[in-house]
A and B are shown apart, each in its own frame.
Chain A
Amino acid sequence: MIRTTGLTKRYGPVLAVDRLDLDVREGDVYGFLGANGSGKTTTVRMLLGLVLATSGDIELLGAPVPKAVATVLPSVGALVEGPAAYSHLSGRANLALFDAMGGGSGRRDRRRRVEEALEQVGLARAADRRVRGYSLGMRQRLGLAGALLRAPRLLVLDEPTNGLDPQGIREMRDLLLSLNAAGTTIFLSSHLLAEVEQLCTRVGVLDRGRMVVQDDLATLQGPTGRTVVRTSDGVAAHALLDGRVDSRDGDRLVVRVDDPAEVNALLVGAGLRVTELYAERRGLEQVVLDATGGSGDVIR
């Protein structure tokens, strides 16, 4: 759905995006992670033909960008760096106006499309109020409604949960997952690890303009080869597993054994009760920190 090769953008002496090879496949919920200023938004703008690349190629739905934007973008819904609307008009009037832009959408079904989009994002009740009076969360919903107007095959969303309350974030997540289940590919850029971890199937991590990791989330979060165990007597367990314990925190131990069953058998055999036991997996935060060299200021 999205494929870039050697994508580079230079602003004067600053290299904003550096030889980026992005690969988003059909059906993915792709999480594009990076700190503020790492080049996420510049990349999104290049994908949509707003910013012209210094070098490299972009393919969107199989067609070259920016050359073929006129034929490709009607099948793409986008939310770029915060929502925007004509503030003196109502939410509904804004959607109707945006729907009329760019052709390819008949006047006959406009009303239905607008109502459906409003319904999807839960904005139907506030649709007749002027956008001027909307909260940031409502504007965000309106922006998403605008992206959904044409039932796009690909959604490109830049920080979509920005400004939403926990309830709104949950609704947004459910909406995106149901859209994905119905066949929409989603490309989501974010600096929120938790959001990406809950939503995405594939992850790309951007660090100072360079892609440092790109893989399936399940692969990235693979087992570390260690087992976490909690027992009734931490000290005794430590003694029993001596040499293979990486760390002990009270009754909780991290053991360098990749099979939890082996640890379990060992402890129970020695008469110790096991209250918690699982194979340790890498968290996304750890993945990102490892990939970006672990410097604390990279992911904010």
Chain B
Amino acid sequence: MLGFVGRRIIYLVPVLLAVTLLTFFIASLLPGDLAYAMLGDQATPDKVAALRHEMGLDLPVIWRYLHWLGDVLQGNLGRSFRTGETVADAITGRLPVSVELMLMAEITGLLIGIPIAIICAVKQGGAFDRIATGIAFGKLSIPAFMVAILMIYLFAVKLHLLPATGYVPFAEDPIGNIRGFILPALTLAFGEWPVLMRVLRSDMIATLQEDYIAMAKAKGLKPWRILLVHALKPSSLTLVTVTGINIGRLIGGALIVETIFALPGIGRLLVTAIYARDFIILQGVVLFVAAGFVIVNFIVDLLYAVLDPRIRHGRA
């Protein structure tokens, strides 16, 4: 196990370095340079030169990258030149919102996906299975922003059941806080369940053909006991991976969903930084999201190895 962890870490370091490199160099795609962007209308050659010198923009690019990387490793991601807020503060302030949304969405997705997958796997090829897999396939063609609009139209505009926007902190109004998260979480869960359902369904179909399931049936165990106790756990390996990857992806907050429902999470921070052309915040958030994505995937790999001995021994 230690050897496996070691190999994964050896792989993790260059990927993280590459992520910082890519994040840094995307910023150099900016036409002109950051000094012009920061000064805006007041850009005179003298001021630009002074600011460039102050920010170290006149140094060679490799030198600048190393300098920036050194700062990043010390947790210093810079400071917004619009609001003066540090990037680290901006991220830690928004992270709880994204995490709450992610947890609610993932739990809802699993609650919808798992029962459907089990029913489909048991009656494989039956009417329910065909309808559910058909819906899951159709769902691939409905992006989150369409679902969000439908949700807002149905539950906020027509039925007046839930707010379309309006975030309140949990400490101020717990119920209002949860209500504000229901529609965005449902929107995300609507995109998650077909994926979760598909992987569990196909793994479960394979598990149900194993000898020990036939054995359990022969012993006269109740069907629900066979399904939930004997079949579900060995079938859930891929489900764990996919759930983990989704969590990694949602660290970036659900960009679109957070923007539509005006939830002040990481995704919304990124989008507003783009609207405001706040490039320091943008760079910091992109780095945070990408590094988080890589690290969560790394943890999922480890978890997977814990669950399945074949993987840590390289025999999968």
Q: Do A and B bind each other?
A: no
B residues neighboring A (CB under 8 Å) = none
A residues neighboring B (CB under 8 Å) = none
